[in-house]
């Protein structure tokens, strides 16, 4: 059985905190198409964690994320309902790998990525 430490070390890419406004298009758990506004909580070169999702989406649904002039498809790899709310966090993995999918260099330190993300999003 893997230890808790082993579970934490599953991640192959560093996560960078970045709150970016995004538009999310997909199909919810009941099969209804939707398009909503949400935001990222953190990013990796191959994925993202979304917040402010008020719909139940299932693994392995494909969602289309729009950020500025970028359009990218992601697969839902996990969802978590936040206790006491109707809001989900959603873990995403990019369908196609790109060097800089968000238009940001995520190879820099977390603080630099956050600063660049804030500048790009106009926050």
Q: Looking at the 3D structure of the chain, how many domains does it have?
A: 1
Q: How far apart are CA 61 and CA 99, in angstroms?
A: 23
User: Residue 87 in 3-state DSSP?
Assistant: coil
Q: What is the CATH number of the domain that holds 50?
A: 2.40.10.220
End-to-end CA distance of the chain: 44
pLDDT 10s digits, 9-26: 565 668 899 999 999 999
pLDDT 10s digits, 47-97: 999 999 999 999 999 999 999 999 999 999 999 999 999 999 999 999 998
**5, two tokens:** 């430490």
| pTM exceeding the 0.75 threshold for the entire prediction | yes
**What residues make up the domain containing 33?**
11-116
Q: Report yes or no: 22 and 38 within 8 Å, Cβ to Cβ.
A: yes
Whether residue 2 is contained in a domain is answered as: no
Segments in 1-123 forming alpha helices (H):
4-8, 110-121
Whether residue 23 is contained in a domain is answered as: yes
Whether residue 4 is contained in a domain is answered as: no
Q: How far apart are CA 43 and CA 76, in angstroms?
A: 14
Whether residue 90 is contained in a domain is answered as: yes
Reply yes or no on whether the pLDDT at 4 is more than 70: no
């Amino acid at each position: 059985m893997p230890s808790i430490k082993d579970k934490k070390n599953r991640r192959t890419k560093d996560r960078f905190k970045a709150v970016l406004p995004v538009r999310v298009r997909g199909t919810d758990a009941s099969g209804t198409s939707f398009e909503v506004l949400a935001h990222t909580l953190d990013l990796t070169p191959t994925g993202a964690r979304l917040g402010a999702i008020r719909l139940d989406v299932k693994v392995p649904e494909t969602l289309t994320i729009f950020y500025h002039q970028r359009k990218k498809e992601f697969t839902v790899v996990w969802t978590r309902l936040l206790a006491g709310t109707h809001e989900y966090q959603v873990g995403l993995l990019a369908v196609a790998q790109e060097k800089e999918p968000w238009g940001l260099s995520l190879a820099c330190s977390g603080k630099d990525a956050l600063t660049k993300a804030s500048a790009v999003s106009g926050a």
